[in-house]
Amino acid sequence: MHDADGGSGGFEIVAREDFSDVTYLLEIRHPLMAKAAKPGQFVIVMSHEHGERIPLTIADFDRAKGTVTLVIQAVGKTTREMQQNCKVGSTLYALVGPMGLPSTTGSAKKVVCVGGGRGVAPIFPQARGFKESGAYVIGILGFRTKRLIFWEEKFAACCDELILCTDDGSAGIKGFVSDGIKLAIEKHRDIDEVIAIGPPVMMKACVEVTRPHAIKTFVSLNPIMVDGTGMCGGCRVRVGDQVKFACVDGPDFDGHKVDFDDLMMRLKRYAEEEKAAMERWSEACRMRNLVDPASLAPPATLAPPATLAPLASQLPEPSARR
Amino acid sequence: MTMAKKKTIRTIPQKRTPVREQDARERVGNFAEVNCGYSQAEALNEAERCLLCPDPVCVAGCPVNIDIPGFIQRIASKDFRDAYETITRTNLLPAVCGRVCPQETQCEGVCVVGETLEPVAIGRLERYLGDLAIAERWTSVPYIEPNGFRIGIVGSGPAGAACAADMAKAGCEVTVYEAFHQPGGVLRYGIPDFRLPNEVIDAEIGNLRKIGVKYECNTLVGRLFTIEQMIGELGFDAVFIGTGAGYPSMLGIPGDSLNGVLSANELLTRCNLMRAKEFPNYDTPLPLGRRVAVIGAGNTAMDAMRVCLRLGAEKVFCVYRRSRTECPAREEEVHHAEEEGIEFHWLTNPVEILADDKGIVRAMRCIQMTLGEPDESGRRRPVPVAGSEHELEVDQVVFAIGTNANPIIGQTSKLRLNKRGYIETDESLATSMAGVFAGGDIVTGAATVIEAMGAGRKAARSMKEYLGLRDYGGDASAEGRAGAGMLFGIDLRERNFARIRVA
């Protein structure tokens, strides 16, 4: 029939790619989900039975191969643990989705698709969706530095124009994606829509750029979630004068109406617990490696966590989306 | 041999057999069950109290019409296995229902003994049998003749479980879809271990699996595939939707999006399903305040309060705008909560949640209420008392003030909804789409576990009729319908009518 099972066998990882020491891609077999997924939707993953449920935006789906792709940044305990444990052939304990309202990629004729940091991969299905519906697509991607750039060709294939932005100017323009949007607006006076995905600060900056021009701007919100089905209200966000649940009323909302300060405050809900979990886990890994050096022996695609980039450079929300 | 004397209200044990409970001081420090259940001697004693009424009102008082005097009589004669079979003819989850049903408003509420003495403890007896069956590994697997029909059930909570059980027993191939990674619905994520241990849920779901019910977790129906696709390309002959209410109502007062404010659903899901109480052994966090206010006084609110106590809160307050008389929770739950030291603030309504300069909840501003004229629910409407505002010092607020309809099925199918967003059904629980039935909270709004199970069973009856299956369940009036198209009282249109093959 169909294999939305997972109860016993889990969901098989069929491919993995590491873009940097923090960003990695997992391709997971799930033919039904590959068939159902639409741009803008997300999944909830539990890597093991004791794990937490983390929401991740679907970065790609291949209906022919029957796979969905997630691009993950190792920012907290769960995502780092996954970085260490998820290998081709291993399984995820739980994977549910696609969740959330799909983005509307129908009517706009000229659109700007903006992805910054962990929002780069999730903007891809939208850019492709718009291209397929016949729109003129301007892609704007932001990275910290040239070394971290990925999927440039993938985006080039579905964007009519592609603007790369790096914090240090090592590739593309020197500046943030919001600077990229300014460039695009100067050049094109007829932009119908902007879609921005990335950290809340980035999305907030983007909507401030488009607001004076009254360009419709959608943002994909990433609050902390548990069930992802509208049952717990943990992902509630303020949009205009209303309270919305990002999991079932979103995740895309009118960026000009979103209360980003509320979102950013709510993302810090479990900051202390997340930090403690991260430290405890790092320490456990260090001890294990001391006791059993052989555990390092298998062809780990990754360095052990003790040598990973310092925590300070990480984003503080492991429970947050993507 | 002497004939058993007819029991009368004077001859039966006068006092209801008490049940052992974990001491209140001790239990607030653990998640073990509060109610320890009857021993065999206690169950036998309590079974003696049933008058075995010839026209039992308790059966009518039960949403799934369990043959109550039937099973109690069998307990009294120590035919425990038989007693268990008697219950499971109508209810496959006795260990669950014996624990969580509001018996005082159902079977026990109408018990004839209760007119003079305390009613027979039907719930405790039911639980006794359910637990005995789990301990003895009994399962009641009836002879099932497959009929080739495939039934899809959306949601693995009580409504879905009841419908699944009946359809599987009727010979259908039943698949239950659950969005979470474990089956059980509200039994799993909502009701805490000290009221309903996980092993009990596992055992009862295990029984459903034994009669052929298949569970598929991690499946969000509506989004992974739609109801229309289930009836269409997935090839289900009929579908039952029992997705529950979901979508917690918000407080709608200033400060309700502060980080120390969460829904009871979130608190309970983190603690029960995600095992946050075992953090960091389990990854899901649930930091808890020292002084917690829980708003609302239903069963969910009681569960939330008692969970907070067990997680180590120093003080837990119940804030409810009406009085104890109107409080919707089961009497036993309120009683247990009081014993455990919950401080009840009746006739109190929150107006604002206050934070310190770091955005941490420091207090809740409340107003005193008084009861005015009855409202549309028949309960006296609470009205604020002018000038009675005061602050309650708390660092966490949990709201359990009801739920709204979950929007997913509405967003993804053409099923007709009512104006409040719940699925519209007719009397038989048929929806606007042929072959699709719905029941439980997604139709009625928040109700009880057993009411949801009652709806699941009712939908199963309608589904069988829709599929042309003979309902072995209740309706014994087959002879009355004899006539055209009937053979030995069996409707010839019934599709699983025993087929005789002539060689």
Question: In this structure, are residues B497 and B470 in contact, taking their beta carbons and an 8 Å threshold?
Answer: yes
DSSP E strands, A117-160: 136-143
Q: Could you tell me the pLDDT band of residue B326, with boundaries at 50, 70 and 90?
A: confident
Kindly state whether A261 is in contact with chain B, defined as any CB-CB distance less than 8 angstroms.
Answer: no
**Residue A36: closest C-alpha in chain B:** B224
The span from the CA of B472 to the CA of A67, in Å, is 44
Residues A30-85: pLDDT tens digits? 999 999 999 999 999 999 999 999 999 999 999 999 999 999 999 888 999 999 99
Q: Which of B29, B50, B27, B47 is nearest to B38 (CA)?
A: B47
User: In chain A, which residues have their Cβ closer than 8 Å to the Cβ of B275?
Assistant: 50
Residue B390 forms beta bridges with which residues?
B366
Residues B126-176: pLDDT tens digits? 999 999 999 998 877 778 888 999 999 999 999 999 999 989 988 999 999
Measured in whole angstroms, the distance separating CA A276 from the mean position of its chain's CA atoms is 24
Instruction: Among B235-244, B349-358, B464-473, name the one with the lowest average pLDDT.
Output: B464-473
The span from the CA of A251 to the CA of A100, in Å, is 6
Q: Positive or negative CA dihedral for B61, B67, B72, B73? A: positive
pLDDT of residue B344: 95
Q: Could you tell me the pLDDT band of residue A294, with boundaries at 50, 70 and 90?
A: low
H helix or E strand, kind and range, residue B27? helix B24-27
Query: Which of A85, A226, A252, A260 is most worth mutating to test chain B (most B CB atoms within 10 A of its CB)?
Result: A226
User: In chain A, which residues have their Cβ closer than 8 Å to the Cβ of B244?
Assistant: 231
Q: At what angle do helices A271-291 and A77-85 cross, to 10 degrees?
A: 30
User: In chain B, which residues have their Cβ closer than 8 Å to the Cβ of A270?
Assistant: 285, 287
The span from the CA of A11 to the CA of A94, in Å, is 7
Which residues 49-78 of A have a C-beta within 8 angstroms of B?
Answer: 50-53, 77-78
Question: In this structure, are residues B414 and B228 in contact, taking their beta carbons and an 8 Å threshold?
Answer: yes
The one-letter amino acid code at B289 reads G
Q: How far is A160 from chain B (nearest CA, A)?
A: 31
Q: How far is A81 from chain B (nearest CA, A)?
A: 11
Question: In this structure, are residues B366 and B350 in contact, taking their beta carbons and an 8 Å threshold?
Answer: yes
Query: Which of B189, B198, B202, B283 is most worth mutating to test chain A (most A CB atoms within 10 A of its CB)?
Result: B283
Q: Which two tokens stand for residue A138?
A: 């301007």
Strand A242-245 versus strand A236-239 pairing type: antiparallel
Q: Could you tell me the pLDDT band of residue A315, with boundaries at 50, 70 and 90?
A: very low
Q: Which two tokens stand for residue A155?
A: 């985006």
How far CA A163 is from CA of A23, A113, A140, A186, in Å, comes to: 21, 10, 5, 13
Q: Could you tell me the pLDDT band of residue B502, with boundaries at 50, 70 and 90?
A: very low
The one-letter amino acid code at A86 reads C
How far CA A182 is from CA of A176, A254, B440, B494, in Å, comes to: 10, 19, 52, 71
H helix or E strand, kind and range, residue A77? helix A77-85
| Coil, helix or strand at residue B473 | coil
Strand A91-92 versus strand A11-18 pairing type: antiparallel
The answer to whether the Cβ–Cβ distance between A229 and B411 falls below 8 Å is no
The one-letter amino acid code at A296 reads L
pLDDT of residue A306: 41
User: In chain B, which residues have their Cβ closer than 8 Å to the Cβ of A36?
Assistant: 223-225
* Phi–psi pair at B273, nearest 5 degrees: -75, -45
* Phi–psi pair at B244, nearest 5 degrees: 80, 175
- Chain A / chain B CB contacts < 8 angstroms: 141
Average pLDDT over residues A208-235: 92
Exposure string over A199-214, b if 16+ CB within 10 A, otherwise e = bbebbbbbbebbeeee
The answer to whether the Cβ–Cβ distance between B225 and A270 falls below 8 Å is no
Question: In this structure, are residues B385 and B368 in contact, taking their beta carbons and an 8 Å threshold?
Answer: yes
Q: At what angle do helices A200-210 and A260-267 cross, to 10 degrees?
A: 180
**Residue B260: closest C-alpha in chain A:** A269
* B330-337: long-range contacts, CB 8 A cutoff, minimum separation 24: B330/B102, B330/B104, B330/B299, B330/B302, B331/B104, B332/B104, B333/B299, B333/B302, B333/B303, B334/B297, B334/B302, B336/B24, B336/B34, B336/B302, B336/B306, B337/B302, B337/B305, B337/B306
Q: How far is A243 from chain B (nearest CA, A)?
A: 8
Query: Which of A42, A78, A82, A229 is most worth mutating to test chain B (most B CB atoms within 10 A of its CB)?
Result: A229
The answer to whether the Cβ–Cβ distance between B218 and A95 falls below 8 Å is yes
pLDDT at B407 over 50: yes
Most confident residue range from A153-157, A270-274, B468-472: A153-157
Q: Could you tell me the pLDDT band of residue A281, with boundaries at 50, 70 and 90?
A: confident
Q: Positive or negative CA dihedral for B215, B219, B222, B224? A: negative
The answer to whether the Cβ–Cβ distance between A266 and B257 falls below 8 Å is yes
Residues B181-211: pLDDT tens digits? 999 999 999 999 988 998 899 998 998 999 9
The span from the CA of B214 to the CA of B231, in Å, is 18
pLDDT at A203 over 70: yes
Kindly state whether A4 is in contact with chain B, defined as any CB-CB distance less than 8 angstroms.
Answer: yes
Residue A92 forms beta bridges with which residues?
A11
Q: How far is B306 from chain A (nearest CA, A)?
A: 18
The span from the CA of A228 to the CA of A53, in Å, is 9
pLDDT of residue B488: 55
User: In chain B, which residues have their Cβ closer than 8 Å to the Cβ of A233?
Assistant: 247-248, 250, 262-263, 265-266
Under 8 Å CB-to-CB from A163, ≥6 apart: which residues? A138, A139, A140, A141, A172, A173, A180, A183, A184
pLDDT at A317 over 80: no
Average pLDDT over residues A117-145: 92
pLDDT of residue B73: 94
pLDDT of residue B289: 85
Query: Which of B154, B174, B181, B218 is most worth mutating to test chain A (most A CB atoms within 10 A of its CB)?
Result: B218
pLDDT of residue B267: 94
The answer to whether the Cβ–Cβ distance between B265 and A77 falls below 8 Å is no
Kindly state whether A28 is in contact with chain B, defined as any CB-CB distance less than 8 angstroms.
Answer: no
pLDDT of residue A159: 93
Question: In this structure, are residues B294 and B320 in contact, taking their beta carbons and an 8 Å threshold?
Answer: no
User: In chain A, which residues have their Cβ closer than 8 Å to the Cβ of B218?
Assistant: 4-7, 11, 94-96
Q: How far is B384 from chain A (nearest CA, A)?
A: 25
Q: Please give, one letter per residue, the 3-state secondary structure of B179-245.
A: CCCCCCCHHHHCCCCCCCCHHHHHHHHHHHHHCCCEEECCCCCCCCCCHHHHHCCCCCCEEEECCCC
* Phi–psi pair at B361, nearest 5 degrees: -60, 130
How far from each other are the two terminal CA atoms of chain A, in whole angstroms?
31
Average pLDDT over residues A2-15: 67
Asked if ipTM goes beyond 0.90, one says: no
The answer to whether the Cβ–Cβ distance between A6 and B215 falls below 8 Å is no
* Phi–psi pair at A166, nearest 5 degrees: -125, 150
The answer to whether the Cβ–Cβ distance between B250 and A274 falls below 8 Å is no
pLDDT of residue B5: 63
Kindly state whether B274 is in contact with chain A, defined as any CB-CB distance less than 8 angstroms.
Answer: yes
pLDDT of residue A60: 94
pLDDT at B4 over 70: no
User: In chain B, which residues have their Cβ closer than 8 Å to the Cβ of A94?
Assistant: 181, 217-218
Query: Which of A49, A232, A262 is most worth mutating to test chain B (most B CB atoms within 10 A of its CB)?
Result: A232
Kindly state whether A24 is in contact with chain B, defined as any CB-CB distance less than 8 angstroms.
Answer: no
Q: Could you tell me the pLDDT band of residue B473, with boundaries at 50, 70 and 90?
A: very low
Q: Could you tell me the pLDDT band of residue A6, with boundaries at 50, 70 and 90?
A: very low
pLDDT of residue B491: 54
Peptide bond into B280 cis (omega under 30): yes
Residue B378 exposed, middle or buried by CB count within 10 Å (0-12, 13-18, 19+): exposed
Q: How far is A133 from chain B (nearest CA, A)?
A: 22
Alpha helices in B322-390 (DSSP H): 331-339
Residues B17-49: pLDDT tens digits? 999 999 888 898 888 898 899 999 999 999 999
How far from each other are the two terminal CA atoms of chain B, in whole angstroms?
53
- Report DSSP state, residue B354: E
pLDDT of residue B503: 41
